Amino acid sequence: MVVVVQLPRRPAEDALELLAEQVRSQLNALLAPHHLMLEPYGSGSHWQEEAKPPRPPIRQRAFLFGYHRQQPLVAIFYQVRHLEQALIDPMPLALAYLQVHLDELAERGLRLVSMMPNWLVTAAPFYYSIGGPALPPRPAPRLELPAIGANEPPLGWHISFLDQGLLLDPEGASNVLVAVLDTAVEAERLLRAADRPEFRRNWLLQRLAADLRNGRGLFQIEYDRYPLWEAIRTGRDRYGEALYYPMPDHGLFVAGLIRDIAPQARIRLIRILNDYGGGDLYGLFAALTGLERELFTGTIRRLVVNLSLTTLPDARRLPYVWFDDRRWPSRGLASAISALTLLEDGLRLLFESLYAQGALLVAAAGNDSWPETRQGKRRRPPRAPARYATVVSVTSVNSRFEPSQFANVAAMPPVNGGVATFGGDVEGVRDSNDLPDAVRGVYISPTFPNGEPNTTGWADWSGSSFAAPIVSGLAAHLLAQGWSAANTMLRMTSSGEWHGGLLYGSPPEVPALLANLIRAQQRFGL
């Protein structure tokens, strides 16, 4: 359970644990008549005993954010226990009881602005999240160029933009940090992979390894900074059905695409998802509040955050998911609207805080719409955080710039449109060269989920996860040239043209996805 509190002033960092205990005491006084209790997140013997595999130890439970605000915010993580009943998940009941006491808490000076489940984990004991790439990775087509004399220079796949007027930074976005919050591999594993004979001609893998070796911060991997729970799973098979498979290379694949587009940007790959692509709000809050603090202190000047992940059910499904079989003290419409707002306002405020500090946030819209497109229905809306107004929402088109069959729409009116760019398509769709329509990137696991050996270090993968880094790389170029985050968002999400004399605006370039189109292609070569 995550509680977000508005504070009268910014406290010292070493006072956050005391603050968390003071808030817990107030909330427990209200929950005690219902035999419910909040415990410090990660404490108690049942934290380890009831979890298979065990949960990791937790060192920090409160995260300060909103540094630009006169009254900043703090997110505090708790776990909920029912003292008498063996409820599968007492957390929804605790949230319901606390909701009806918001006014009373405010009278005591405790202002709760949000109360949320630890959203990337569904109700126990099913620690699985609907999401993941549209398809599992598979071997990329093996293409070769003749050797030049005795040399075999590195080669492989490269991204380029077809749109006129996209002015790329001549310095390769060297003064921008791109933070990739995702899965990650250990640095040593990446370096060992780069030394494998069959991978030595993979130019992108060799470049990432060289950046990691030089120690100048061009590429960093934060592998074990944040605790992760390995029980969470996500993923889909080629038919869009749940299939949980290891995907530790997902974040490396994303980081490689950004390196291809922004050759001198600093890339920081931060592991907040486990090897199966699963995580929770704890890792997301920990990483994002840390980045906001670096922006506030001036450690980071220009920041792009790539989030090839999704959280929460989509906005249209959330009421059905949350109110199904729940017991609420009040069933009135106002109470329901308030409950739904409280369920995600804390996350929305976190993204607003980073945006206010000048960060450009890029997030994948999600890959949930394949069932709808097969039935001729409207596509699903973007998932959080892509659906927030302070985030560039990225959805997927195939190599012919047609909507990918799995792609969610990029925006929810009245929020401004999002962006669509190349993210591949479902299995069976071919590009103009009769190759599978997929994004190709770095993949270092020895085998693919279907058991095929990895012989080139390249994989085909499809999803809005892989469209997002193309937009992040372009965004780094614009920020490097002095564009603000707000102007960069406007430039990418609107066509900037009027058509047909419509003074109220132009339709999006990809109407089915409510998205402006950024035309990118991938070609093989030196």
45 assigned to active site: no
Active-site entry in 82, 101, 250, 477: 250
Residues, the chain, total?
Answer: 526
Q: How many helices (H) and strands (E) does the chain have?
A: 14, 18
What's the CA gap between 468 and 476, in Å, rounded? 12
Active-site entry in 114, 129, 169, 182: 182
Residue 377 in tokens: 């229905």
Tell whether omega for the bond before 125 is within 30 degrees of 0, i.e. cis.
Answer: yes
CA neighbor of 257 nearest in space, from 301, 308, 324 = 308
182 assigned to active site: yes
What's the CA gap between 171 and 62, in Å, rounded? 39
Tell whether omega for the bond before 8 is within 30 degrees of 0, i.e. cis.
Answer: no
465 assigned to active site: yes
| Continuous H helices in 42-157 | 45-49, 91-99, 102-107
Place of tokens 């997301």: 284
Q: Which amino acid is at 226?
A: Y
Asked if 260 and 203 touch (Cβ cutoff 8 Å), the reply is no
Active-site entry in 437, 465, 472, 477: 465
For residue 301, count other CB atoms closer than 10 A to its CB: 12
What's the CA gap between 305 and 491, in Å, rounded? 17
Asked if 98 and 328 touch (Cβ cutoff 8 Å), the reply is no
Q: Could you tell me the CA-to-CA distances from 418 to 93, 378, 397 in Å, in that order? A: 36, 17, 13
Sign (positive or negative) of CA dihedral 49, 50, 52, 53: negative
> What is the DSSP track for 326-395?
---S---HHHHHHHHHHTTHHHHHHHHHHHHTT-EEEEE--S--HHHHHTTPPPPPPPBTTTSTTEEEEE
Asked if 364 and 464 touch (Cβ cutoff 8 Å), the reply is yes
CA neighbor of 314 nearest in space, from 231, 411, 173, 179 = 411
Residues belonging to the active site: 182, 250, 465
